[in-house]
A and B are shown apart, each in its own frame.
Chain A
């Protein structure tokens, strides 16, 4: 850990923090009777947008997927774009909580809790889209293998079915991982709660946790094992999502580099979303001591690294289209760059390829408002990327007689925006009722940092 002992570096924890101050500061946000006005306004707006989502779903269920802009040629529209986008956002949470735990990156401790929350809320949104895209969501359980009266079984050689298993495993493991991390913190809230009801409710979730050394030993080992399981899982999830495309014959989809391209894109967009959330949250709740500029800088570095991989993939797509000597592949790229969706394509190159290059500059990585703007641009860019992948490949496939144009309708957009509202409404609720930063890991960090101080 040479970097953290360098006096010029910004620390991962503000000065003067003790076990007690860490606990009081973080639990204080939850255990107060006063709800900040900013919270009420933010939640109110998000909640209104949730109503828009419910309205869009009602219209969809009443009238069918015809209210969307889908047609026979472009049968995968916004639903799949949004699905891939939301799953991708979830990946940063698992990366921070699992992979960085295995690599013993101490800076992850203060951001892992809400990054994991973000994962669960994003994957919840992601799971919604394929289910409603089936057209008859009340029959979604047909996707699962079970002995049915029809004597039918799922087709296990299809990536679409692999997706069912990948996403449901992912959401289950993420939720469990999140809950396990919360148990000792629930105990803290139980012990510090001011009134009986609060103590009782958090006490139920704490399951009787009392910080016994033997419990901690099983607990930390179980957490490490979960992290070790979640690490290949998160890589597998977006790989399987990419198989939905790569296993088909469609030009632009049928390539071998799609899995690493998708996984790095997922981490890229996920870190962008973590920054989008972390920068306002730390400002609003004055958490600068816990989420320091060092955290933001490290996340910016991860974004830069994964952004470069993604940009490399964009270049390789073009190269392989030419190198394959396949006229359909070549036309696909030509159509992307100059066809009806060219403005989307070039905006995507600008947002994901050009803008992240600013992150090479240290000053940019250290300036929260610039990072915030970049993170928003990357979020939009990653949505465009999925739109480009889904739509430009499909709308002009092999047979010119089937060529069609595709655009989202009002209900496409309203549902997409509605899920954003749902996501932010859940984030607001999370901030109010759960500790946004993992308290026991922060205390562990205080302990480690104090030891390191003594050694030097």
Chain B
């Protein structure tokens, strides 16, 4: 029956939020997330998060190549064999361009939709949007949220911990 999603600390600089996240991690918190207006590589490293999008892109590319060759083989050898310039039906060197284009197309689609899917988009509602001042995350402020679902979370002690990191403000995030 948690009435709290978590506690949110607001910081003014990227250095502060990186330091705060590092300390929170050291203090044993795991269910937390840092928010920033631009990508900060260290944050994901501290949170021990490794992106896996590259595997999806690779699979997309392989599927694209297979599709590219498959379409052309089927059309030129099975469905509609035509002799063009005395070449064999399966004249694969002439198929390279379309194979390449479809590899890039499928891999690109996998990159975009894989990224959106892994990030859970579209995601119109999220508790952090309720928090005061969170709209500044896309402008110039940095936030660290420790979720109430974290086993070490305690409303009082976690608040005291976050206060010790010298944030501009600590606020509650309602679910």
Chain A positions within 8 Å of B, measured between CB atoms, are 18-20, 23-24, 145, 147, 151-157, 159, 161-162, 165-166, 168-169, 172-173, 176-177, 179-180, 184, 187-188, 190-192, 203, 207-222, 225-226, 229-230, 232-233, 236, 240, 243, 440-441, 443-444, 447
**Contact A447/B101 with A207-B121, A216-B44 known, Cβ cut-off 8 Å:** no
Total interface residues in chain B, CB < 8 Å: 66
The answer on a CB contact under 8 Å between A210 and B114 is no
**Contact A218/B95 with A151-B80, A191-B135 known, Cβ cut-off 8 Å:** no
Q: Looking at the complex, which one of B85, B122, B138 makes contact with A184 (CB distance below 8 Å)?
A: B138
| Complex Cα gap A443–B98 (Å) | 39
| Complex Cα gap A243–B97 (Å) | 11
In the complex formed, the residue of B with least CB distance to A203 is: B124
Q: Looking at the complex, which one of B34, B47, B94, B136 makes contact with A157 (CB distance below 8 Å)?
A: B94
The answer on a CB contact under 8 Å between B39 and A444 is yes
Q: Chain A residues with Cβ under 8 A from B43's Cβ?
A: 213, 216
The answer on a CB contact under 8 Å between A156 and B51 is no
The answer on a CB contact under 8 Å between B85 and A191 is no
Listed by A's residue number, 30 A-B pairs whose Cβ atoms lie within 8 Å are A19-B37, A19-B38, A145-B75, A155-B84, A157-B85, A157-B87, A161-B98, A162-B98, A162-B101, A165-B102, A166-B97, A173-B104, A176-B108, A210-B137, A211-B36, A211-B137, A212-B119, A213-B49, A214-B119, A216-B44, A217-B41, A217-B51, A218-B51, A221-B51, A222-B115, A225-B107, A225-B111, A240-B97, A441-B38, A447-B40
**Contact A440/B51 with A23-B139, A166-B101, A192-B138 known, Cβ cut-off 8 Å:** no
Q: Chain A residues with Cβ under 8 A from B115's Cβ?
A: 180, 218-219, 222
Over the window 73-111 of chain B, the binary record of Cβ atoms lying under 8 Å from chain A Cβ atoms (1 yes, 0 no) is 001100110101101000100110110111011011101
Q: Looking at the complex, which one of B34, B52, B98, B108 makes contact with A173 (CB distance below 8 Å)?
A: B108
Q: DSSP class of A's interface residues: helix, strand, loop or mixed?
A: helix
Nearest-neighbour CB distance to chain B for A425, whole angstroms, equals 27
**Contact A152/B54 with A187-B138, A216-B44, A236-B97 known, Cβ cut-off 8 Å:** no
Nearest-neighbour CB distance to chain A for B55, whole angstroms, equals 11
| Complex Cα gap A233–B107 (Å) | 12
In the complex formed, the residue of B with least CB distance to A191 is: B135
| Complex Cα gap A176–B111 (Å) | 10
Nearest-neighbour CB distance to chain B for A186, whole angstroms, equals 9
Q: DSSP class of B's interface residues: helix, strand, loop or mixed?
A: helix
Q: Chain B residues with Cβ under 8 A from A172's Cβ?
A: 105, 108-109
| Complex Cα gap A191–B37 (Å) | 12
Q: Chain B residues with Cβ under 8 A from A20's Cβ?
A: 139-140
Q: Chain A residues with Cβ under 8 A from B82's Cβ?
A: 155
The answer on a CB contact under 8 Å between B108 and A226 is yes
| Complex Cα gap A209–B122 (Å) | 8
Over the window 46-65 of chain B, the binary record of Cβ atoms lying under 8 Å from chain A Cβ atoms (1 yes, 0 no) is 01011111100100000000
The answer on a CB contact under 8 Å between A214 and B49 is yes
The answer on a CB contact under 8 Å between B91 and A219 is no
Q: Which one, B125-133, B149-157, B163-171, is touching chain A?
A: B125-133
Q: Chain B residues with Cβ under 8 A from A24's Cβ?
A: 139
The answer on a CB contact under 8 Å between A18 and B140 is yes
In the complex formed, the residue of A with least CB distance to B17 is: A213
Q: Chain A residues with Cβ under 8 A from B140's Cβ?
A: 18-20, 23, 443
**Contact A191/B53 with A222-B115, A229-B107, A229-B108 known, Cβ cut-off 8 Å:** no
| Complex Cα gap A145–B129 (Å) | 46
| Complex Cα gap A162–B97 (Å) | 6
Q: Chain B residues with Cβ under 8 A from A214's Cβ?
A: 33, 44, 47, 49, 119
In the complex formed, the residue of B with least CB distance to A231 is: B104
Q: Does B35 reach chain A (CB closer than 8 Å)?
A: yes
In the complex formed, the residue of A with least CB distance to B52 is: A218
| Complex Cα gap A240–B94 (Å) | 12
The answer on a CB contact under 8 Å between A156 and B112 is no
**Contact A207/B123 with A156-B75, A157-B84 known, Cβ cut-off 8 Å:** yes
Q: Chain B residues with Cβ under 8 A from A221's Cβ?
A: 51, 53-54
